[in-house]
Amino acid sequence: MTTISEVAKAAGVSVSTVSHVLNKTRYVSPEKAKLVMEAVDEIGYIPNAVARSLKLSSTGTVGLVISAISNPYFSDIICAIEAECSKRGLIVFLCDTQDDPDRELELIRHLHQRRVDGIILAASGAPKKSLDYLFECDVPCVLVDRLSDNRFDQVGTDNTAAIRMLVDHLVTLHHQRVGIILGQPGFATTVERTEAFRAAMAEKGIEVPHAFISNGNRSTADATASTHHLLELKEPPTAILASNNLAMIGAMRAVRERGLRVPADISVLGIDDFEWADYFEPRLTLMAQPCDEIGRKAADLLIARIGNKHRPRETVRLSPVLRVRESCGEAA
């Protein structure tokens, strides 16, 4: 196996100079740095990443613990985090929690044992054990999207503003009977959007029947069943608000299965904008979340936390954008 001493000999420099070039621990002139890198390429030297991480107390890696496959909403956030970390020379280990609290904790422990420099987490619906572990072990961590614990840096959408804008839009179209299809119970986003919906409707002087609020939808099939239930009520809602992309898919499926027309028979709108929204007929009115910005900011906060564990905690709520399309009309 080629050694660092052989690299130094081939480059005509000291072993310490080679070390500083490879580890970026001290300034080395461009001329000497070029000689070192040419020698590395020529003799095929491969640095010992484990030894380097022990010396520098850093592995140059971060863990991203998130429901990557089961929730397509996160794909843009994942891409933004990876791109930002890559710019800073960090490698991202992506771990899919499948929104399972036990799997979430197991993955976090594995990443910690493998000495990642920090973790970005989209917490499950029951994240207490995971969050307590991260806090007690003093692991640099940023919570993304689901802002559930002020002990950590957090970044996500301003859910209150998002729901308020959607309700305002519906009320301007004279809708009084509005149903909402919510996501999984326990998620911070579900809790925030439920509270925001009740508050926004109350501010408009509109009482929301209990049956109009459908909680606990874990899948598109659940959202479809919940939408059917809403539409079977004696006085069904004239508009349905889907609180995430999966809820929207389920709601639209139920509307089509009942042979209803959007927006002639019922108006539909929701949170999470995707390219496919423009290919529905009619095109869907949706609240676009700033996914790229969320991902970049999460990476920035984690890198800052890794550099200084004692800096003040930050909670960043980014503004969404309402994209009005044809799926909402005047209330009948």
Confidence of residue 284 (pLDDT cuts 50, 70, 90): very high
Cα gap 124→131, rounded to integer Å:
10
Q: Which of 45-54, 107-116, 214-223, 225-234 has the highest mean pLDDT?
A: 225-234
pLDDT tens digits for range 118-173: 999 999 999 999 999 999 999 999 999 999 899 999 999 999 999 999 999 999 99
What's the token pair of residue 71? 């929730």
pLDDT tens digits for range 292-322: 999 999 999 999 999 999 999 999 999 999 9
| Averaged pLDDT, 99-122 | 95
Angle between helices 188-203 and 159-172 (to 10 degrees): 40
Please give the pLDDT value at position 287.
95
| Angle 248-250-251 from CA coordinates, rounded to 5° | 65
For the chain, the C-alpha Rg in angstroms (whole number) is 25
- Cα separation values, 202 from 195, 206, 209, 271, 330, Å: 11, 5, 12, 20, 20
Please give the pLDDT value at position 16.
85
pLDDT at 286 over 60: yes
Confidence of residue 54 (pLDDT cuts 50, 70, 90): very low
Q: 259 in helix, strand or coil?
A: coil
What's the token pair of residue 284? 């869907």
pLDDT > 90: percent of the chain: 70
The side-by-side arrangement of strands in the sheet containing 213-214 is: 213-214, 178-181, 239-242, 267-271, 285-288, 321-323
**Between 40 and 328, whose confidence is greater?**
328
pLDDT at 281 over 50: yes
Least confident of 36-50, 116-130, 177-191: 36-50
Cα gap 28→10, rounded to integer Å:
17
Please give the pLDDT value at position 48.
63
Has this prediction a pTM greater than 0.75? yes
DSSP-assigned beta bridge partners for residue 213: 180
- State the alpha helices, DSSP H only, in the chain: 4-11, 15-23, 30-43, 49-56, 74-87, 101-113, 128-136, 159-172, 188-203, 220-231, 245-257, 291-307
Please give the pLDDT value at position 27.
87
| Averaged pLDDT, 255-276 | 93
In the numeric block, the tokens 């130094």 are attached to 8
Please give the pLDDT value at position 1.
63
| Angle 194-218-299 from CA coordinates, rounded to 5° | 75
In the numeric block, the tokens 């991202």 are attached to 92
